Chain A
Amino acid sequence: MILNAAFYLFSGLAALATLLMIFQRDPVKAAMLMLAALLSTAGIYLVLSAQLLAALQIILYAGAIMTLFIVALTATPAAWRDKPGRGSFMKVLGLAAASVILMELLKVSTALKAITVSPEFSETGTLDLASALFGRFAFQFELLSLVILAAIVAAVALTAKRRTAQ
């Protein structure tokens, strides 16, 4: 009972924070609201007894990635002045697309009610995660290391100072 209440509380908070974030025009306030949304998502994970996921959510998303956001915001002052335009045609178009997606979501969620996806919550611990990563998904894990390395090299190649740019 109390778990259910907590689940709905965190879900509501996450949805509310996301909505407020979308309508926020100040980038820093928007980032803070996104932080609230990420933290409440961590709360949902905790209620679903996925402690590891909750911890990772707080450390990685709320910690590392949000810090990156704030640093990026302070590093690019142009983003502060660059307020989104008020084109009415684009707004109508966006609303139309959003309503289509909302309809789809409602349809899917009614379908979702009919099936039980995972009957019981599993106690996913660090050990299970590790054995999946280095066992069944070892190949994909190694492949991902190449993806990340390629991303790092790409970032360096695109942003490093030119040595011979005199």
Chain B
Amino acid sequence: MIADPLAYAASALSGPLLLVLTAFVCLLLPLFIRQLRGTQGLIALGAVLVAITFFRQAPPAELAFFSEALLLSPLSSYLWAFALGVLALVIALSIARPPAPEENLGEYYFLLFMAGIGLMVLVAAGDLFTAFIALELLSLPVYALAGIRRSKPGLEAAYKYFMLGAFGSGMTVMGIAILSSLYPALTFTALKVGPAQPLALAGFLLVISGFAFKTALVPFHMWVPDAYEGAPTPISAFMAAAVKAGGVIVLWRLFSLFSGGPIREIFWWLAVVTAVSANLMALAQKGLKRLLAYSSVAHAGYIAVAFFGGRQGFEAVLYYLPVYAMATIGAFSVALLLEKEEKGPQIEDLAGLAKTRPWVAGAMAAFMFSLAGVPPLAGFFAKFYAFAGAVNSGYTSLVIIAIIMSAVSIYYYLKVTVVMYMKPSANGHTAEAPGLIEAVIFLMAAGVILAGIFSRPLLEQAAEASRWF
């Protein structure tokens, strides 16, 4: 038993509160103190690192706060650690290549922090209402961040993302309104024990479509390629790693309310359509960021397959999220490193990278193989556990489709590697002194390799966290 739940809550909540404070510091202080202009990134990174050190091992219990709006448990602390890690990496990338003009850096970090807090609340939300507000807090800043450079591709990305995101939010609100007339409490526990009604089905469908927008499941993925391509690359990495994770957690909470019936069937179809069409569409992509965008949609499909594995599947999802985040943040960092124009490098631009920068090429190959699921990299084990859970629950046909499409995906991931190693360099990469981006790349490469070879520790953490759902 915990000695003092309030003491734990105070220490756990001080992390997000520190982030709120730092967001305001980044926004306001440089307006008054001229010397601080341009250093917002360092302030932000320092604050996130301090917030990580605040982290305590959560007590083995679920503590509900604010009339069950916020649930603190080992699950929430696992996901908060994940969120803070992603935030720190994105900030490090933003320091290396400022994605916004200096005068807008304050707004940039403020919005990034708001999105980070939104993610943290979203994964700990105990009811649908809070989850929706947290989702808005997560997505609204990201819409703006996509267009923060105010260049043409950036604004197009922001506009498309905003329009489709607003549509998704509208559907979610409609669904929540229907559900709240049936289950006034709206907590996930109340939804679970509530009697099944045809009207509830309509509500759940609307809510699920809304969250599927954020997770980018086909057919709710239309915004993904343009948004990932036009947004500043660190923000694309944030979208792929963080925004998706938030959607996945809520979708799992909704999915696990049902043990059968039409909702499960709909998830079955979402998973199949996503895995098949995203991989097929990725085959023809020429831009690296576009390729990663379709790859992100495909991975959302694999995660949806993992849902069918029950508790074991959820454990796999929790392992999958950081593993996927490491590989995709690493790959986006390589894109950032080679970026000459806003839409990021073409795959052809990677030619000859193995000659000029062998270490970066090696790291990129590791990311690609991890995303493709080649042993012994972490991506293989993530897919293995995800699919194993679904097979154990008897969804063999679903897994067979996912494995076939996963094999298709090897083609386009391998294409990147082949271009790096086999093609002679066309324009010649200039060897620069290694900086923060390289540090992030090598950190992620080490993570992808180590989390694969020594998958036990991370997997145990995930298993412990999954018990507290």
Contacts and interface: CB of A to CB of B under 8 A. Distances in A.
A121 interface: no
B339 interface: no
Interface stretch (A3-11, A14-22, A138-146): A138-146
Contacts of B101: 162, 164
Interface string B58-71: 00000001110110
Interface of B: 20, 27, 65-67, 69-70, 100-104, 107-108, 110-111, 114, 117, 121, 129-130, 133-134, 136-137, 140-141, 143-144, 147-148, 150, 158, 178, 181-182, 197-199, 202
Max chain B C-beta neighbours (<10 A), residue from A111, A143, A151, A156: A143
A68 B114 CA distance: 27
Max chain B C-beta neighbours (<10 A), residue from A137, A146, A156, A163: A146
Interface in A108-166: 108, 111-112, 115, 117-118, 136-140, 143-144, 146-147, 149-151, 153-158, 162-164
A82 interface: no
B27 A153 contact: yes
Return the 7 tightest CB-CB contacts between A and B, nearest first: A154-B144, A139-B66, A157-B107, A111-B198, A150-B114, A117-B181, A108-B202
Contacts of B129: 137, 140
Given A150-B140, A153-B110, A139 B70 contact: yes
Interface size class of A (residues with CB under 8 A): 20 to 34
Given A111-B197, A112-B199, A117-B181, A143 B141 contact: no
Interface string A41-62: 0000000000000000000000
A157 B199 contact: no
B107 A156 contact: yes
B104 A157 contact: yes
29 contacts: A104-B202, A107-B198, A108-B199, A108-B202, A112-B199, A115-B199, A136-B67, A139-B66, A139-B69, A139-B130, A140-B133, A143-B134, A146-B20, A146-B117, A146-B137, A147-B136, A147-B137, A150-B140, A153-B107, A153-B110, A153-B144, A155-B144, A156-B107, A157-B108, A157-B148, A158-B144, A158-B148, A164-B101, A164-B102
A153 B199 CA distance: 39
Contacts of A143: 121, 130, 133-134, 137
Contacts of B111: 150, 153-154, 157
B330 to A, nearest CB: 28
A146 B134 CA distance: 10
Interface string A88-116: 00000000000000001001100110010
Contacts of B130: 139-140, 143
B114 A146 contact: yes
B317 to A, nearest CB: 25
A146 to B, nearest CB: 6
A147 B198 CA distance: 33
Given A115-B197, A139-B65, A146-B114, 20 more contacts: A104-B202, A107-B202, A108-B198, A139-B130, A140-B66, A140-B69, A140-B130, A143-B134, A146-B137, A147-B133, A150-B137, A150-B140, A157-B104, A157-B108, A157-B144, A157-B148, A158-B144, A158-B147, A158-B150, A162-B103
Nearest to B115: A150
Contact of B143 (A137, A147, A154): A154
Interface of A: 104, 107-108, 111-112, 115, 117-118, 136-140, 143-144, 146-147, 149-151, 153-158, 162-164
A156 B212 CA distance: 29
A139 B121 CA distance: 11
Max chain A C-beta neighbours (<10 A), residue from B133, B148, B158, B181: B133
A108 B202 CA distance: 7
A149 B27 CA distance: 12
Contacts of B137: 143, 146-147, 150
Nearest to A157: B107
A153 B28 CA distance: 11
B103 A164 contact: yes
A144 B133 contact: yes
B107 A138 contact: no
A157 B103 CA distance: 10
Nearest to B69: A139
A58 B386 CA distance: 52
A156 B148 CA distance: 10
Nearest to A149: B114
A104 B175 CA distance: 13
Max chain A C-beta neighbours (<10 A), residue from B108, B158, B182, B199: B199
Contacts of A104: 202
Nearest to B104: A157
Contacts of B181: 117-118
Contacts of A162: 101, 103
Max chain B C-beta neighbours (<10 A), residue from A117, A118, A150: A150
Max chain B C-beta neighbours (<10 A), residue from A136, A147, A154: A154
A154 B140 contact: yes
A158 to B, nearest CB: 6
A111 B147 CA distance: 44
B180 to A, nearest CB: 10
Contacts of A150: 110-111, 114, 137, 140-141
